[in-house]
Amino acid sequence: MAAPVRPHFLARHPWLIGPLLLAATAVGLGLALKAPDRIAVWVLGGLGGLALLWTLSAAFWPSRADRTCPECGAEGLRRMDPATTRGLVCTSCGHTDAEASGWFLAEEEGALDEVIANRHRSDS
Ligand SMILES: [Zn+2]
């Protein structure tokens, strides 16, 4: 059995998010108010370029659903019930989570439209 997946650094220390955002805001304000205008042009151009790269990379290489099991770390998560997007089961270790969302998995499998249509039919 593989080791459990270790959470991200900020997930283990969420209290750091507030001070980091405050520090980033202070640095941004300091740059905007004290730096020469030429730097602002470079920074804004860089941000615009990053936004363009982000948009192009998301369009050409769309994200994949995370199928990593939180229990065993294997890429074995599947939806429990193909008729809904709720509930995940691991095919490697048998881990189940009846409340976990399988929305991205259904979207990746192309079954999302059918699940939503079935839900609307059962509601009306
Ligand atoms: Zn597992």
The CA distance from 25 to 21, in Å, is 6
pLDDT digits (tens, 9 = 90+) for 67-89: 999 999 999 999 999 888 999 99
Q: What is the pTM of this model?
A: 0.55
The CA distance from 122 to 102, in Å, is 19
**For the chain, first and last CA: distance in Å?**
46
53 contacts 74 by C-beta, under 8 angstroms: no
Selected residue with higher pLDDT from 49 and 107: 49
Domain chopping of the chain, boundaries = 12-60, 77-123
Q: How far away, in angstroms, is 43 Cα from ligand 1 center?
A: 44
Can you give the three-state secondary structure of 71-119, one letter per residue? Answer: CCCCCCEEECCCCCCEEEEECCCCCEEEEEECHHHHHHHCCHHHHHHHH
* Run of H or E including 123: helix 112-123
Q: How far away, in angstroms, is 104 Cα from ligand 1 center?
A: 18
Q: How far away, in angstroms, is 108 Cα from ligand 1 center?
A: 20
pLDDT digits (tens, 9 = 90+) for 39-74: 888 888 999 999 999 999 999 998 889 999 999 999
Q: How far away, in angstroms, is 52 Cα from ligand 1 center?
A: 37
